[in-house]
Structure 1
């Protein structure tokens, strides 16, 4: 007996629905954990916000602890999708040569993708809030975020700064400046409402992001010039 087109499509529809439910739970959990922290957040509240019943969390993730870690992994995946292209190109470049002008170009490309990722949507501010909470009050997700996002991101930006300055060896100054450069963007995004209010922006759209891009590139040029060797 041959299945009808409608019946053959049903499994795909179920998989799509399941993926949608998982995404809704993850989005709700990232928001809740970022706002209130792991201990103060209940699965009941997450389920209500996601529009699912509480057993759905156990079905899809197994436990509150597993959901919490899944949030960290989801954020890592978002960062990889948003900044992977420029970061990979920069890492490959650094492994082969260290031309000053090219290093600046790669650094600006990396930071441009980061600006687009962090300032390009409201969802980014929610994810930034989760990341910042873990940085200030480390839980189990901290290790995932630090090892997958912060440590490699800071190292890449610091290496590009050193290469742009003509430094043959890594410098502590470049690492500190990389921390400040990246964390300022995360803070700008997590405090999206404050940033909009101070700047009197209705929204952070293309024109607003263009201003952030311009300022970021000016900061990079100033940092490179301040530590450049002869």
Structure 2
């Protein structure tokens, strides 16, 4: 194989190195606190690779957000597709989602998310996302539209079914955010969780405990009294 034929592979490797390094560095220091030299050194690539592949630091930052979405989607994309396909099949058959199915799917989604949130791999993702929560940029829009919104809306559909309310209602939106927050706390307050639970780390036993908690949280979702 010629050098020319190898070139796309080298380009892909360089881009991957930059995006992986940028996810960690931007998450630690923020956009303004990060220099292109820091990024290139962390990635182990030439400084000129940033403007060459991304047009500059701004382009790399937005691309990093898209890269983050793709990384997380590797873990949750299959489940999201399965749930989406199930919902579409019900609609095609003129059927509605049952409460039993809604609880099962929501539990599966929550268990998948909590497993992802407590993993070591999610640390740089959380730093990046938390910074964007505090001071949203175009990067937040990419993460929200590409990942957060579809997952939250899917959860809304299931929680609306369980509560027997319109998934678009303010109440269901808030209940969904509260449910998601109960799971996200295990990443955004990871140190406090370990300290409070007196855990050294989250291993298989602790992870199963958290997954059981997710099932408990789903089980606590109940239709409000007097709601018809």
**1:3 — aligned with what?**
none
Contact kept? 2:114, 2:184, Cα under 8 Å: no
1:16 Cα offset (Å):
4.3
CA distance in structure 2 between the aligned counterparts of 1:190 and 1:125, rounded to whole angstroms: 9
Partner residue of 2:132 out of 118, 128, 134: 134
| Aligned equivalent of 2:93 | none
SS in 2 for 1:225: coil
> In structure 2, do the counterparts of structure 1 residues 130 and 185 end up closer, same or farther at CA, with 3 Å as the change threshold?
farther
Are 2:112 and 1:113 aligned?
A: yes
Aligned counterpart for 1:209 among listed residues 207, 212, 215:
207
Q: Indicate how the Cα distance of structure 1 residues 11 and 186 shifts in structure 2: closer, same or farther if over 3 A, else same.
A: farther
Cα distance in 2 for residues equivalent to 1:187 and 1:52: 36
User: Larger deviation: 127-136 or 8-17?
Assistant: 8-17
Shift of 1:69: 0.7
For 1:60-71, what aligned pairs fall within 5 Å after superposition?
Answer: 60-71=53-64
Distance 2:48 2:167 in 1: 54
Q: Which residue of 1 aligns with 2:171?
A: 173
Find the residue that maps to 2:201 and give its secondary structure. coil
In structure 2, distance between residues paired with 1:61 and 1:159: 37
Structure 1 residue ranges without an equivalent (≥5): 1-7
- CA RMSD in angstroms, aligned pairs only: 2.5
1:1-230 residue pairs with structure 2 within 5 A? 8=1, 15-95=8-88, 96=90, 97-120=96-119, 122-167=120-165, 170-222=168-220, 224-225=221-222, 227=224
Give 5+ residue unaligned stretches, structure 2.
91-95
Contact 2:166 2:172 in 1 (8 A): no
In 1, the alpha carbon distance for the partners of 2:201 and 2:5 equals 37
Change (3 A) 1:41 1:168: closer
For normalisation by structure 2, the TM-score amounts to 0.84
**1:199 and 1:52, CA in 2 relative to 1: closer, same or farther beyond 3 A?**
farther
Residues 100/127 of structure 1: CA separation in 2 closer, same or farther (3 Å cut): same
